[in-house]
Amino acid sequence: MTEMVYGTAPMRVGEPILPKWWRTIDKWSMISVLLLFGIGLLLGLAASPPLAARNGFAPFHYVERQAIFGITALMAMFITSMMSPTLVRRLATLGFAAAFVALAFLPLFGTDFGKGAVRWYSLGFASLQPSEFLKPGFVVAAAWMMAASQEINGPPGIRISLVLAVVIVGFLAMQPDFGQACLVLFGWGVMYFVAGAPMLLMIGMAATVFLGGMVAYNASEHFARRIDGFLSPDVDPTTQLGYATNAIREGGFFGVGVGGGEVKWSLPDAHTDFIIAVAAEEYGLVLVCVIIALYATIVLRSLGRLVRERDPFIRLAGTGLAAMFGVQAMINMGVAVRLLPAKGMTLPFVSYGGSSLIAGGIALGMLLAFTRARPQGEIGDILRGRPR
């Protein structure tokens, strides 16, 4: 009777987390990540057996390790993508602090594994590269500071984040790892641009980076050797760039066939930095275009969703993560085709590497969490003066 008189007010039951996650996630980006990981395993089957034979391991030793690292990375991606932006921000800031301390102590406790750059901690059963975990954490922390600086009486977040970026670049230059240093600066610059940086200031920063490159060229033999090799009109066929260039040329449109490639027997980094050369030689331009399309799908769909985002922090952090992810892929492939100097940078989710795979999974999980559909108006409503 009471219900007949006053009506019913049924309690709104919260939607379970998994259906809500599936309904709001960008499925095209997630599928693209899974396809990239599958392609990485496929290329690992071709590229890693020669290295395993040289090091005395079973033929598919590195493929098995890549599968383990990759599954761990995908689990990290799925779990992170289910988190709220606030939780992602808090955990990313803590992770950034831990990675920053690890990066600072690399000169004392790190190792170079005979590669001439102290970038890793040797854990016995594996290695850890702090810079890979530092990048997504720094992007989120810097975005938080920039967003806070836009509030009334907010902290000087832009200046603080810039100081942090410069300190990080200094630590990376000491290793030396100029590729990761450039990536960190690029990520910060993109976020600052989106936050409304004056164009003259951005031009001045670009000039400063150019002058810094000139100083590094004169002060670092490692940096100068790579720049000289890039600018040289002739490519030594016995170098990694020479082998990669020849492999891409031999592959043509459709490749020489599965298992028919020769570059994997000559390149020591065929399974990491030059994995795209293996793809081009054995599967041709067709597979390379597929890989490029998958990266483009992730970046463009993420940016398309972030354009409609109202929250300044989410917009800045998501843009920084998407831009850094896409540019890292461009740098890796650009080096292989000799459009850029050698950087020693992996191809996200395709190259072999525990730190890069797991850190990439965390970064993509953050990006998927930031680009999930949320009940909100369009950013254009704010620009047109409409109420929320």
Quickly list DSSP for 73-128: HHHHHHHHHTS-HHHHHHHHHHHHHHHHHHHHTHHHH-B-TTSSS--BEE-SSSEE
Of the candidates 235, 258, 260, the one whose C-alpha atom is nearest the C-alpha of residue 246 is 235
CA distance to 222, 275, 328, 355, per residue, from 136 (Å): 27, 23, 12, 13
- For residues 345 and 276, the answer to whether their CB atoms sit within 8 Å is no
Q: Write the single-letter amino acid at 299.
A: V
Output the six-digit token pair for 139.
């992007």
Of the candidates 43, 109, 11, the one whose C-alpha atom is nearest the C-alpha of residue 275 is 43
Looking at residue 230, its pLDDT comes to 65
Q: Residue 111: inside a domain, yes or no?
A: yes
Q: Residue 379: inside a domain, yes or no?
A: no
Q: Residue 19: inside a domain, yes or no?
A: no
Q: Residue 362: inside a domain, yes or no?
A: yes
pLDDT in tens, the chain (388 residues): 434 443 444 434 567 888 889 999 999 999 999 999 999 999 888 888 888 888 888 888 888 999 999 999 999 999 999 999 999 999 999 999 999 999 999 888 888 777 777 888 888 777 889 999 999 999 999 999 999 998 888 889 899 999 999 999 989 988 878 888 889 999 999 999 998 878 777 787 778 777 877 877 777 676 677 676 666 666 655 667 777 777 888 888 888 877 777 777 777 777 778 888 888 888 989 999 999 999 999 999 999 999 988 899 999 999 999 999 999 999 989 888 878 777 778 899 998 888 899 999 999 999 999 999 877 655 555 555 554 4
Looking at residue 139, its pLDDT comes to 96
What is the residue range of 256's domain?
24-372
Q: Residue 6: inside a domain, yes or no?
A: no
Q: Residue 377: inside a domain, yes or no?
A: no
Looking at residue 322, its pLDDT comes to 96
Rounded to whole angstroms, the Cα distance separating 278 from 270 reads 7
Which are the contacts of 217, defined by CB distance < 8 A and separation ≥ 6?
Answer: 223, 224, 227
Q: Residue 29: inside a domain, yes or no?
A: yes
Looking at residue 238, its pLDDT comes to 61
Tell me which DSSP letter residue 14 carries.
Answer: P
Q: What's the residue count for the chain?
A: 388
Of the candidates 255, 262, 266, 320, the one whose C-alpha atom is nearest the C-alpha of residue 290 is 255
Looking at residue 4, its pLDDT comes to 40
How many structural domains compose the chain? 1
Looking at residue 290, its pLDDT comes to 95
Q: Residue 190: inside a domain, yes or no?
A: yes
Looking at residue 87, its pLDDT comes to 96
